[in-house]
Structures are given as structure tokens and as C-alpha cells.
Structure 1
């Protein structure tokens, strides 16, 4: 499997972590100083997932795909291989964001699964670990700080 992943322990209950994950993506879903503007979300398997990542110098990176899974309180997964109205797109990855109770807190794990080894390597070279760890740290800070 062509997978990259990050994980962290969050000292907050799973229901709180899920609420932030699912409803406050603009605050944690891409590394600061970038931000994520959610454009459209249908929180269900097959639902549209559109966002724009905005950089500090006016950069814009549109993101579009569909949810493959939306398991309330546990995980969501999306892919860029399919866009609205089930249109095929150039597949790069399946993203999976999930949580589970661990002691009094929550274990957060984010995975990127790629079709091809070269895509996994390219994602890693793009800074996957640093970027997704930064997102995990932002999520952790929100959940532990609120």
C-alpha cells in the first residue's frame, strides 16, 4: 500500500475532537499561515467536498473531490479521483482522517493512500510529514485549548 500517515494523542474527549474535525476545518485543515476556506460540504459518503487553500501571499489552491466515507464521530475519507456529479479526475490520493478513544483522550490519525508509488514519493517530497503534522498540531491545540 502506498500510504503516508501521521498520528498524535489529543488530551480531549473524542466528541470534542470530532466536533472540531468536522465543523471547524477552516481552523486546522492546512498549515498556518495558509488557511482552508470550505466552499461546499455534503457530509455523507458520495457527498461533494470543495475547499480553497489560501496562502499568505494570495496563493489559491482549489481542492475538490467527494467523500468516500463519513462515519459520524469516527472518521471521514475523501478522494480527488472523483469530483462533483461523479466526474473522473486525475487521481492523486485518498485522504482518511480518523479518531478513536485512547484513555481519557483521543488518538488522531490522518492517512494519505496513493495509487502509485511515484505519487506517494512526490507527496512525501512535497512535505507531507511536516504539513500534516502541522495540521495535527493545530487540531490538537484547538481541542486542548477550548
Structure 2
């Protein structure tokens, strides 16, 4: 990790890696936790394989909707998922992307060591993401993820 360009959030979640994997890769589960409340994820499409589509549509409390198109770069069931908004399905360039995310799930005593590392092109993009509320937003979404993962069967 390059601390000048990247952001990371790490938590111990009291659920097995298989449950977290399901929450990340099954659209109906992803919609339940992916956006920090009160933002809602209205739609999700995820094809967890290299070149697969990663799409979300969120609704802000004021009613504005934001769609995000991306591409899965790598996926290892119950271990890691990497995606970017710089590419679309089939690795088709989308124009200027903002980030690449690497999500890892490591079995640990008491659950799963969960890590989200977000890579940015330069320190300015990293700072912009931090200023947008990365730690608060991804932190709240991770709490929502943990609560959901604890309830589902792996």
C-alpha cells in the first residue's frame, strides 16, 4: 500500500469469509448493505469473475440517483475481490476512473479479517476520496455488512 495514494479500512467481522463473500457477490445481499444509510443501493449487478460487470445504482436521501459502472479485475471465492471504475464489463475502458478497490477476506479467530484497500492514481485523488468521507462512509457500510453477514448462512 502506498500511503500517499491509497486508503484502507480493516475490521474483524464476526462472520465466516463465505458469508462476507455472499454479501459482496449476491446482488440482493449487496443492495442491503453497500451504501451507508440513509443512502440506498437500489440496484446491483455483479459478475464475480475477471472481466465481469460491477454496477450499482444508489439513491441519496434527497432523491438524486447515482449509477456506477465498473469491472471485476480479479476474484477468488471467499478470499478476494478486486474491481475498478476505470473499466467496464469485458475490460472496456470507460474514460477516467477514480479508483481500484481490493477487498480481502481472511479467516481469523472469531470471524474474518476484512480489508478494503482503495488505490488512487495520485495523492490528490486519494485526498478527494478522503474528503468525500471515505472513512465514515465505508466504515458505516462495513458495519452494515457485518450485521448482515452475521445473519446469513454461508
Superposition TM-score, scaled by structure 1 size: 0.92
Q: Please tell me whether residue 104 in structure 1 is matched to residue 110 in structure 2.
A: yes
1:79-125 CA deviation, whole Å, 9 max, x = no partner? Answer: 11112451332121101211110113111111110011100000001
Which residue of structure 2 aligns with residue 123 of structure 1? 129
1:24-71 CA deviation, whole Å, 9 max, x = no partner? Answer: 110111101112233432221111111111112211111001111111
CA 1:97–1:53 in 2, change beyond 3 Å: closer, same or farther? same
Residues paired across the two proteins, number: 146
Separation (CA, whole Å) in 1 of partners of 2:46 and 2:21: 16
Which residue of structure 2 aligns with residue 42 of structure 1? 47
Which residue of structure 2 aligns with residue 22 of structure 1? 25
Which residue of structure 1 aligns with residue 56 of structure 2? 51
Separation (CA, whole Å) in 2 of partners of 1:144 and 1:42: 23
CA 1:102–1:113 in 2, change beyond 3 Å: closer, same or farther? same
8 Å Cα contact 1:83-1:89 kept in structure 2: no
SS at match of 1:66: strand
Separation (CA, whole Å) in 2 of partners of 1:19 and 1:39: 13
Separation (CA, whole Å) in 2 of partners of 1:28 and 1:40: 14
Q: Which moved more, 1:29-38 or 1:106-115?
A: 29-38
RMSD: 1.5
Which residue of structure 1 aligns with residue 88 of structure 2? 83
Separation (CA, whole Å) in 1 of partners of 2:16 and 2:52: 27
CA 1:45–1:137 in 2, change beyond 3 Å: closer, same or farther? same
8 Å Cα contact 1:98-1:108 kept in structure 2: yes
| Structure 1 gaps, min length 5 | none
8 Å Cα contact 2:31-2:44 kept in structure 1: no
